[in-house]
Chains A and B, each alone.
Chain A
Amino acid sequence: MTEKIIGIDLGTSNSAAAVIQGGKPTLIPAAEGTTVAGKAFPSIVAFSKDGDLLVGEPARRQAVTNPDNTIREAKRKMGTEFTYKIQDKEYKPQQISAFILQKIKRDAEAFTGDSISKAVITVPAYFNDNQRQATKDAGTIAGLEVVRIINEPTAASLAFGLDKNKQDMKILVFDFGGGTLDVTIMEMGGGVFEVMSTSGDTQLGGSDMDKAIIDYVADEFRKKEGIDLSNDSTAMTRIKEGGEKAKIELSTVMETEINLPFIAQDSSGAKNLEVKLTRAKLDDLVNPIVQRCKSSIEKAIEDAKISKTDITKIVLVGGPTRMPIVRKFVSETVEQEAESGVDPMEAVAFGAAVQAGIIAGDVTSDIVLLDVTPLTLGIETLGGVREPIIERNTTIPTSKDKTFTTAADSQTAVTINVVQGERPMVADNVSLGSFNLTEIPPAPRGVPQINVKFDIDANGIINVTAKDLGTGKDAKITIESATKMSEADVEKMKGDAEKFAEEDKKKKEEVDIKNEAESFIYTTEKLVNQDLKDKIPQDKGIKITDAIKELKESLTQGSEQIKQKLDALKAIVNEITTELYKNATPPPGAEQQSEQGQDNSTDQNTDEQKSDSENNEEQKTDSNSEQKPESS
């Protein structure tokens, strides 16, 4: 067995991770259990007033009480110079994402029982180099080597097993999340998933649908009973829960009922909310939101310069696409059926895990996902026009050049501004850096010949050289990433992240000891009051009761005190149970069996340790042979 590599869907609203187990991707559960985001967890980071770090569900739960110190959607700021100022400390978006990745790493280690140090992370197809580099940096800060960054729609296609198809395909990926819509058209063939176009709406998602349902239910109740519930937070919370349940049910049945007894009270007595909701009514309610997706699909098809009939596969991603109306709408718009068989909420994380599995050698695939340039690279020319040199989706390493000339008579210097993006004007793209080539001999415009050469190595590092072909003089620039952090910065942030990890560990230990104490109190009380009620002598019973009382009192104190009292109670319970067993007559042959059992368990431990240690050796070998250099 090789070292496990996890796949991470680092989402704007929610994040999830998966790992290959038994040849299949399995979602890694969040430590807090199932949340509002299902098996995923919200991509929210917060710092409590005491400076404690909260990630995921706990961060979401406290958001309304602590909005200034709660960070949502840090992904939107990745690759920018933006900094979050929290409690007089500055955090880069990479650091915020690193906190999320660190939690994923922790959850993955708890789930697999192995140490996790490598990951495949997904990013939107439209992410530029800076944003991708920032994502890699976030991984490094979190203590994860990012072995590959892949596009989210590519990951979704992998999850649906589209890489197993032999023929070339054009795939439409419809990613409808909680708050955003992304439509991507990709072409698969020759070992590459190539992004043809992307479009979407950053202000459209499943939460709009939930609101429509809640408003309808509250309105129905108001019409029937004349009571407005919108200011009653208890009632509205119940309606929200009931509405969500009904929405899920209506994916499989045609009619359901939201039944909330005693939701309100007036002079005539208690009022019950009973609203029948049919699938047709639900469709009617959410249809305006669904129809708003149409323009994004049409734009993506138009930008890809293809027609609907050219699309061979449709992949649906995101919770709202589970709804039959959404599936039907996409199928009707594109005039063909969508792929099925994978939970759309888990598809991206699953696909990332499949890619991780391919790299680790756990999964076989006919397709080899190659590292490509995600966006076109070019330089600025006269009038702020972008001249492309390396087209997007070019497999790296690569090298291309073009020859330019001067724009004015006797021009002795040129500025080479390296830009990245798909737009024709420089201002609409991202500038990665610029440099000057000077001492060009004065000549009429159009005469000097300046060759500009782009080299991208296997690590994604771009070298741009400008050479005056007349004199042979050249100048160059090396671009790693405009927002790439220095190694020292990354190390410092790693240290900060580890500091929080240490604090988290300490806090977890405190919670664990408290939980253990509560659990032990519960078990002991059950033992004393039920299971061994008549078997414990009175004096011992009093001793236990006192020890329980002391332990209960210690629960409000520090972990040391709890541990001390817990140990004391354990000792008393052990003493009593030992005595009880001593007095009990063992059935014939019981002693022998017990000894045998011990022997077996020792063997088991030895075997298990051996197996694990040998696995580790294999991991090392494999990781060396598979290790891909990281952009730096």
Chain B
Amino acid sequence: MPEENDKKELDADDIVIDETENIEDTPKAEIEEILSDQKKLSICEDKLQRALADYQNLDRRNNIEVSQKILKRTNQLMLSFIGIYEDFLRAKDALVNDNNNTEGLDAVIKNMESLLYENNIKQIEAVGEIFDPKLHEAVSTVEDNSLDDGTITQEVAKGYISSQEVIKPSKVIVSKKNESE
């Protein structure tokens, strides 16, 4: 619609001319309209900035949530895998007890351990360490005056750390000094 477009251009030119003229000659209503438009524009700009900021915040939060969900799911999967890995360790012990060759099984276990290492999963040190409730869970205590109080004497179930999070605390038996002696 060329006519309309022409008209718009003409209107725009008019405004430019008005601006070059003495401000006192501009009708008051027109000044108010311009000021009002400027105010509206400023509000729109502000809203746009806020919307952008909100979007970026949402995007950031979303990314964090997604990575947390992936990590959680991976840890769950790794815990299931660890269950099978531990069964292999038990199988090896049983074979050793029966004086069987475990070379092949050793290689399988080694591969499994590599997989855990690649996924940044480490076993929690337990026997001989001092009990730490952030890493270990005590299932019982045993009296032993030869050890420092709180020394782990037996590991009932292995524990694991993924990155910096304990995904499974090791379950342990802890020494306690006999106070009556």
Contact = CB atoms under 8 A, between A and B. Distances in A.
Dominant secondary structure at the A interface:
helix
A241 B157 CA distance: 11
B109 interface: no
Nearest to B84: A261
B122 to A, nearest CB: 9
Interface residues of B, number: 38
B164 A515 contact: yes
Contacts, number: 86
Indicate the size class of the contact surface on chain A. Answer: 20 to 34
Dominant secondary structure at the B interface:
mixed
A234 interface: yes
B138 A608 contact: no
Interface in A584-604: 604
A269 B138 contact: no
A262 B90 contact: yes
A607 B49 contact: yes
A269 B138 CA distance: 30
B138 A64 contact: yes
A293 B101 CA distance: 56
B141 A65 contact: yes
Interface stretch (A55-63, A196-204, A370-378): A55-63
Contacts of A62: 131, 133, 138
A65 B173 CA distance: 9
Contact of B139 (A233, A265, A607): A233
A365 interface: no
Contacts of B138: 61-65
B53 interface: yes
Contacts of A76: none
Given A33-B167, A65-B141, A607-B49, A269 B176 contact: no
A61 B136 contact: yes
B140 A233 contact: yes
Interface string A29-60: 00011000000000000001100001000111
B9 to A, nearest CB: 34
Interface of A: 32-33, 48-49, 54, 58-65, 233-234, 237-238, 241, 261-262, 265, 269-270, 511, 515, 518-519, 522, 604, 607-608, 610-611, 614
23 contacts: A33-B166, A33-B167, A54-B133, A58-B134, A61-B133, A61-B138, A61-B169, A64-B139, A65-B138, A65-B174, A237-B171, A262-B91, A269-B98, A270-B91, A270-B97, A515-B164, A518-B164, A604-B56, A607-B50, A607-B56, A610-B50, A610-B53, A611-B50
Interface of B: 49-50, 52-54, 56-57, 87, 90-91, 93-94, 97-98, 120, 131, 133-134, 136-141, 149-150, 156-157, 163-167, 169, 171, 173-174, 176
